[in-house]
Structure 1
Amino acid sequence: MSITTTTHLNFRGDARAALDFYHSVFGGDVVSVTYKDAGAVQNPDEADWVMWGQVTADNGFQVMAYDVPSQTPWHPGENAVFVSVRGDDTDEISTLWDKLVVGATVVRPLEPAQWAPLYGMLKDRFGVVWVLDVAAPYNG
């Protein structure tokens, strides 16, 4: 069992450019899944926006990013960052969730998602937004 924490950056239409820029700075590999790739298009103009993206480099650098869809409220600087906790064990992630959720506002319950065995989002009592999930292999 192991978990990782990663800075998760939120954009509105600029996630791909940001990921490419961070890749040019830190090297490594870029992976991105669009809303179209995931079959989750709600606005045709946003089909090619990044639903989930990541840069991972051998030097230890890692950052995630996505484009907040237009039907979801988003204000730069207000929800600019999530803390992502990713693991490979559902029991471990569930235990962490149960501790973090005390006094929190649940944005999305921890439950199976189309892209992960478990996925959930909450805003803790300090105003920090956390995303917890169990990693699923990327089949590009």
Structure 2
Amino acid sequence: MATLNPYLSFKDQARAALEHYQAVLGGELDITAYGDMPMGTPEDEAHLVMHGQLETPDGLTLMAADTGSMTEHVPATSGVTVALTGGVDDFDRVRAAYERLLEGATDVMPFEKAPWGDHYGQLTDRFGISWMFDVGPA
């Protein structure tokens, strides 16, 4: 089965972001740095993330990488970058993720019951990534 996974691009904060998301969502984090590969990376950028992947206990996959000076960095655009959604059984998990991402967040829309019946909220986390949270009713 094919899956769609967010792949986030950072200039030089992928490791910190992925470690933060692991603290928020749980799971196993695998990081490969540019310096781990035999490709002539500048020494001061060897620690940057070439590929990072977070696999959460409930099946979510979140990936990220740094661009450093090797390629042009394209920052996240306005709008939703990551959507964390679910049904009524997922309410506590989605609400907990929202609350843990609030520290340092901007453009916060509270996670609360929306006019259409879902619990909905949005924020831009401390790394500049925009998140949407939605849990449908029973």
TM-score in terms of structure 1 length: 0.51
CA contact (8 A) 1:12 1:69 kept: yes
Give the number of aligned pairs: 79
Cα distance in 1, alignment partners of residues 76 and 52 from structure 2? 19
Query: 1:97 maps to which residue?
Result: none
C-alpha deviation, 1:70, in angstroms: 0.8
C-alpha deviation, 1:69, in angstroms: 2.7
- Cα RMSD for the two superposed structures: 2.1
Identity %: 37
Query: 2:57 maps to which residue?
Result: 58
Cα distance in 2, alignment partners of residues 16 and 41 from structure 1? 20
C-alpha deviation, 1:47, in angstroms: 0.4
1:9 lines up with 2:12 in the alignment: no
C-alpha deviation, 1:22, in angstroms: 0.3
- When residues 57 and 77 of structure 1 are mapped into structure 2, their CA distance, relative to the original with a 3 A threshold, is closer
Q: Higher helix proportion, which one?
A: 2
Could you tell me which runs of 5 or more consecutive residues in structure 1 were left unpaired when the two chains were aligned.
Answer: 83-140
Cα distance in 1, alignment partners of residues 6 and 57 from structure 2? 17
What stretches of structure 1 move > 6 A for 4+ residues in a row?
none
3-state SS, counterpart of residue 63 of structure 2: strand
C-alpha deviation, 1:17, in angstroms: 0.2
1:11-47 Cα shifts (integer Å, max 9, x gaps): 0110000000000000000000001112234221110
Higher alpha-carbon Rg: 2
CA contact (8 A) 2:7 2:62 kept: yes
CA contact (8 A) 1:34 1:51 kept: yes
Cα distance in 2, alignment partners of residues 40 and 27 from structure 1? 32
TM-score in terms of structure 2 length: 0.52
Could you tell me which runs of 5 or more consecutive residues in structure 2 were left unpaired when the two chains were aligned.
Answer: 82-138
Q: Higher strand proportion, which one?
A: 1
CA contact (8 A) 1:41 1:47 kept: no
- When residues 41 and 47 of structure 1 are mapped into structure 2, their CA distance, relative to the original with a 3 A threshold, is farther
1:31 lines up with 2:35 in the alignment: no
1:32-68 Cα shifts (integer Å, max 9, x gaps): 0001112234221110111000111121221000001
- When residues 30 and 24 of structure 1 are mapped into structure 2, their CA distance, relative to the original with a 3 A threshold, is same
Query: 1:45 maps to which residue?
Result: 44
Query: 2:126 maps to which residue?
Result: none
